[in-house]
Amino acid sequence: MTFMSGREDASRSGPLRPPSLVSQFYTKYKGAAFVPALRQVLEAVTTGGITDIPELAALAARHITRRTTAKGTRARVRSKAVLITPTGTGTGTGRVAAQAIASGSARLRPLIAEAASRGLKLAFTVRLHRAGYVMPSGSRTDSPGIRRDVVQRTDHTEERSYGSAATGGFDAADFAQRVDAAGGDVTAAVQQWLIETGRIHTDARIVHLEVRTWRPRSEQS
């Protein structure tokens, strides 16, 4: 096992050494926290002949330190679109960002469909440019009783939530029908609801979408 530079690896890359990843380690020093761990793994393989993956993973874990901020606190990790759905319950949380939203937030459709089939409730949070909202921040008419302190960001976007366990949420079946009517495009279905109910302008564009589904407490055993 050997380490190659991004240039060397680009000509004969394989699934274990993506050229872009290797190049970033060598030219931009990204993933610096993993370098000591990778060196230990390399030594274990080349000098000790260790090839057992769990053993190598355990060895690497002892040499990985999470990044810290300038204040010394643990740095947050950026993540891709996530879909979390506990098996067999239909409840869960799904969130998507710009790239997935542009393609219709397809990852969220199974979550909504499963919740609909089980008669669950649904709520969602959207983020878009604050000028895209019709009603002012914290309006009781816009989203009564939910997240009065809306989340405003430095990029001039704002998060607002609709539906909650406290207010009863929405019927997942109703939103599943909207998604089906939109050809499976979850983003379009949510955006259309927001427009129809007078909450956003027709030219507003969602940049972040989160969907939450749950079983009403009265139905829980």
pLDDT, tens digit, 9 for 90 and up, residues 66-100: 666 666 666 655 545 555 555 456 677 777 777 77
The pair of structure tokens assigned to 138 is 């914290």
Residue 79 or residue 61, greater confidence: 61
DSSP 168-186: T-EEHHHHHHHHHHTTT-H
Q: Is the pLDDT of residue 196 over 50?
A: yes
> Quick one: average pLDDT of 31-47?
78
Of the listed ranges 38-52, 66-80, 144-158, 192-206, the least confidently predicted one is 66-80
In terms of pTM, does the model score above 0.75?
Answer: no
156 backbone dihedrals φ, ψ, rounded to 5°: 70, 20
Residue 153 or residue 136, greater confidence: 136
Q: Is the pLDDT of residue 194 over 80?
A: yes
Q: How confident is the model at residue 201 (pLDDT cuts 50, 70, 90)?
A: very high
Q: Is the pLDDT of residue 127 over 60?
A: yes
Distances in Å between the alpha carbon of 52 and those of 18, 41, 48, 56? 22, 11, 11, 6
The residue among 108, 131, 128 whose CA lies nearest residue 182 is 108
Longest dimension (CA), the chain: 68
